[in-house]
Amino acid sequence: MNYKEFGDIVSFDETYSTNRHNMRFVSITGIDNHKKLVIFGVALLSCETIDSYKWFIDCFLKTFSTEPGLVTTDQDPAVLEAVAEKFKTGKHRLCMWHISQKLKDKVGYVLYNNKVFRKRTNYIFWNKEMSVSSFERHWKSLIEDFKLDGAKWFDDMFAIKEMWILCFFRDVLMNGLMRTSSLSEGRLCRHIFYVYEINDIFEIPKQHILRRWARDASESLIVIFAGVNYHSDAYMITKHIFNTFRRVVSNCKNDKEILQLFSDKFDGFPSNVKVRAPVVVPNKGQHNSKRYKSAREEAASKSSVNRRKCHRCQGIGHNVRTCTVDLDSEFTDYEDDDEDV
């Protein structure tokens, strides 16, 4: 998801220090909407060969399926050849930071610390407003004034000036990967706002707003993992499922039968949650098979039952044992009547 939003321009960097296993750490990184580096892919290479870099780029393209719009690298010959062969649709530029770092070794300590020399080289290297003709004129003057004619490094750099000098790709957004100050290029200058005001334009046109710098640029990531505790096992399982799904779809993107089978399997999963009747659990202290009845229910149940009469007094609602009728008088009279009959 990060690559989808911020993978338009990436940096291919293999200059990180080797580890104790003597393996080169190579990374492909970009810059997110918070102006922070975001890592898209890394590799540990045992050798810095063209084939090793090609293998890394193949793995990268297999994972993300699409090429970046622009790749910045240093001047390593193996990297240059691998990038040129594998990244066919995007542009390729040299990192200005690496070039400026090499300047000291190429001209020596004394000349490098010359204030005039440093001022002029900075002007040539970093001036985005300079035209091609102006660059060539300043470059020739620099070579002559400081007697750098014949220096191989300067001749080589001039031969590939289209790859690194800013005036040749002022229309390409670098998003801070050429130099930190280039972050201000995805921004409108104050003169534009004066033009807007004169023309009664009070909203910035959409074509001048880059999504990568918007606050909701990575909203899709937030939605997917919203409400998940990032320190819980559930988060790790969610992340694993998400990455597995992306990997399967990416690897099978050209196989219609496998994709259809994969889609059918997912269609079998419920898309919504069905509410089922809960299992009835008796309350504490309550009989398992009974519940408390209201007075109305009790009265209705009593009225529907054919209750027996008392054999002694023929009353209803009690039996002989609980009968309160005077046993001596009534029972005696009852017996006397029977005898007369």
Q: What is the pLDDT of residues 258-271, one digit of tens each?
A: 888 888 877 766 66
pLDDT value, residue 331: 46
Q: What's the pLDDT tens digit per position in 204-213?
A: 887 777 777 7
Strand-strand pairing, 70-73 and 9-13: parallel
Portion of the chain with pLDDT greater than 70, in percent: 72
Q: Which two tokens stand for residue 186?
A: 């995805």
Q: Which residues contact 89 (CB under 8 A, 6 or more apart)?
A: 67
- The predicted model gives 180-207 an average pLDDT of 73
**pLDDT higher at 32 or 335:** 32
Cα separation, 244 vs 238, in Å, equals: 10
For residues 163-186, one letter each, b for 16 or more C-beta atoms within 10 angstroms of the residue's C-beta and e for the rest, the string is bbbbbebeebbbbbbbbeebbeeb
pLDDT value, residue 140: 93
Residue 243: phi and psi, rounded to 5, are -70, -35
Output the average pLDDT for the chain: 77
Q: What's the pLDDT tens digit per position in 283-323?
A: 444 445 555 566 666 666 666 555 667 777 877 777 777 78
